[in-house]
């Protein structure tokens, strides 16, 4: 780790489970407006109150019991059409939850889902181990330097969605409008390669970079399906890959179901993703998806020890 790193960030990380098998990342939304209706912060209450912390700790305990090896804590919804949250408010939501979960579950990896460097730093100080940035360090000029300074794993997500530009459906929810691509997969691979290079140029070690293709962010229905089908091409870039299809609108469009009814569509997406090389899957339904991941791995690995 860099010699300039603050003392608060100088600590040993728990083991990184994605080095040996696909890790399950459980989503802990400390927001009032999650697209999946699982946000733990009530719209009429102070997000930093003890009730929110207690609910988040209880959810963390349930997720860990049922197979989550990483907990992803987010204080701002990325739901299409959601309003931006000031950094101070996001910190009020995230930091007490990160601190409590770190205290109760010291052997579990904690990820902070934010694109704001100030929020990421505060979360790291509180005990987080991973920065998960849906804008890959491009939304805040201080983020890539912080990633380099902190010496923790970082998730860089491909995202060409335009903030606030989304279509809404009363049943299926919102979806970000897709920009024009030339050759879709080649464009994605080129842009993700450049994302990783920008982080490395800023001083982030290559072995700490995790790439997320950004399913649901600025892609059409067919493009989202293609990303999962061709995930192996992204894995060939040489970095671990995180896949986050859970309950997203592309599943709703295929199956004509609301967010709460997308468990089976998520399961199919996760299973194909694991078969194509996903190292981490980010999910809401931890128990069910852990079983999907482990069963898929058992099938893929069958006969290899004979």
Least confident of 31-35, 127-131, 284-288: 31-35
Alpha-carbon dihedral angle through residues 275, 28, 62, 47, given to the nearest 10 degrees: -170
d(CA 266, CA 268): 5
In this structure, the chain runs to a length of 306
Number of H helices, E strands in the chain: 10, 10
**What would the pLDDT profile of 42-63 be if each residue is shown by its tens digit?**
543 444 467 889 999 999 999 9
* Contact present, 249 and 161 (Cβ < 8 Å): no
Per-residue pLDDT of 210-221, as tens digits, reads 999 999 998 999
Residue closest to 56 by CA, chosen among 152, 155, 126: 126
Residue with tokens 């694109």: 115
Q: Which of 79, 219, 248, 276 is catalytic?
A: 248
pLDDT tens, position by position, 94-110: 999 999 999 999 999 99
Concerning whether 79 is annotated as a catalytic residue, the answer is no
Examine the pLDDT at 116 and tell me if it is beyond 70.
Answer: yes
Would you list the DSSP string of 9-69? G--PPPP-GGGTSPEEEEEEE--S--TTS---S-TTS-TTSHHHHHHHHHHHHHHHHTT-S
**Residue 282 designated active-site:** yes
Residues with Cβ within 8 Å of residue 249, at least 6 apart in sequence: 35, 80, 169, 172, 173, 174, 175, 216
Fold (topology level) of 7-301:
TIM Barrel (3.20.20)
- Cβ burial, residue 130 (10 Å; 0-12/13-18/19+): buried
Q: Spell out the domain ranges in the chain.
A: 7-301
Which pair of tokens denotes residue 121? 């730093």
Instruction: For residue 210, give the nearest of 285, 120, 147 by alpha carbon.
Output: 147
> Global pTM?
0.88
Exactly one of 282, 287, 294, 304 is catalytic; which is it? 282
């Amino acid at each position: 780790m860099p010699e300039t790193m603050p003392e608060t960030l100088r600590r040993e990380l728990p083991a990184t489970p994605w080095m040996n098998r696909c890790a399950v990342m459980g989503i802990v939304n400390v927001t009032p407006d999650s697209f999946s209706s699982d946000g733990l912060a009530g719209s009429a209450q102070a997000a930093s109150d003890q009730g929110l912390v207690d609910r988040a700790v209880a959810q963390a305990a349930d997720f860990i019991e049922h197979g989550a090896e990483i907990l992803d804590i987010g204080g701002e919804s990325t739901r299409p059409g959601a309003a931006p949250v000031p950094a101070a408010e996001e910190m009020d939501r995230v930091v007490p939850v990160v601190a409590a979960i770190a205290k109760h579950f010291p052997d579990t990896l904690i990820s902070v889902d934010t694109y704001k460097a100030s929020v990421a730093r505060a979360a790291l100080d509180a005990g987080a181990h991973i920065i998960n940035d849906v804008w890959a360090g491009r939304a805040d000029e201080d983020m890539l330097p912080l990633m380099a300074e902190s010496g923790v794993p970082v998730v860089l997500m491909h995202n060409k969605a335009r903030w606030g530009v989304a279509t809404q459906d009363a049943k299926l929810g919102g979806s970000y409008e897709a920009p024009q691509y030339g050759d879709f997969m080649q464009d994605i691979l080129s842009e993700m390669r450049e994302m990783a290079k920008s982080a490395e140029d800023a001083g982030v070690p290559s072995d700490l970079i995790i790439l997320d293709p950004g399913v649901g962010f600025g892609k059409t229905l067919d493009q989202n399906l293609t990303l999962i089908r061709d995930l192996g091409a992204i894995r060939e870039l040489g970095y671990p890959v995180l896949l986050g299809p859970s309950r997203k609108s592309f599943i709703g469009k295929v199956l004509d179901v609301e967010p709460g009814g997308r468990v089976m569509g998520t399961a199919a997406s996760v299973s194909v993703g694991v078969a194509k090389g996903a190292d981490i899957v980010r999910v809401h339904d931890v128990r069910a998806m852990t079983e999907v991941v482990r069963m898929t791995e058992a099938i893929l690995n069958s006969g290899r020890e004979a």
